[in-house]
Amino acid sequence: MDFTSIMGNPYLITAYIISIIGYGLFAIASGLKKKKHLLICQSTANALCAVAEGMTGLWSGLVQDAVNFIRNLFVLKKWMNTALAIIFIVLGTGIGIFVFIYDFEHAKWWGLLPVVATLEYSIVILIPRVRIEIVKIAIMVSSSCWTIYGYGMNFIPTMAFNLLSFILATISLITIIVKRKHKEVNVDNMDRNELQEALKTTEV
């Protein structure tokens, strides 16, 4: 799908606008540090992208975004348990593979990438009290898959904004790690200072 096929086609222009908004939210979510805020942003993005993908025939992406949307809602509502987590993973993977096989002539091997992205991210996001650093890494892996999928399907918003999400998630991860290391150094220095003060008070 290129710009020449989009220009003058209000239907495709609408799909592009919806997808740009959706992927823009994904990019914003990549930089968020609280899991709840991240999931709210991602859920909205999933819904918008699913609509755009349905309008443009990106069926593999549509299925995975729909599954992700429902899964995130369950996580946000705290309805998720081990059984449901397994069901969502199996559901997303199973339907994804079915669509991949059904739509192989159109999507080729690119169609498998959204399935991989959803599978790995679902496993991570459903882990109770998962560290935000792990979530960021999962976003990086997922964004990489979606970026390549967008490239393969020649859908620019998917490719461009997932690449941006990857970059933002990487920056966010580095920032979190650096801040944590800096905090640890400060605490270590504080402990040393307290020790020195304690030694001074015990000197005769």
pLDDT of residue 191: 57
Q: Are 25 and 45 in contact (CB under 8 A)?
A: yes
Q: Are 65 and 49 in contact (CB under 8 A)?
A: yes
Instruction: Give the list of residues 6+ apart from residue 43 with CB closer than 8 angstroms, or none.
Output: 68, 69, 72, 73, 76
Look-up of token digits 């290391």: 181
Look-up of token digits 């979606």: 146
Domain coordinates in residue numbering, the chain: 3-177
Q: What are 22's two structure tokens? A: 């959706």
pLDDT of residue 92: 84
**Per-residue model confidence as pLDDT tens for the chain (204 residues):** 555 556 667 888 888 889 889 988 887 887 777 878 888 998 999 999 999 989 888 888 888 889 889 988 988 888 878 888 888 888 888 988 988 888 888 878 888 998 999 899 888 877 878 888 898 899 899 999 989 988 988 888 888 888 988 998 899 899 988 888 877 666 556 555 554 555 555 443
Q: What are 96's two structure tokens? A: 């994804």
- Which one-letter amino acid corresponds to residue 154? N
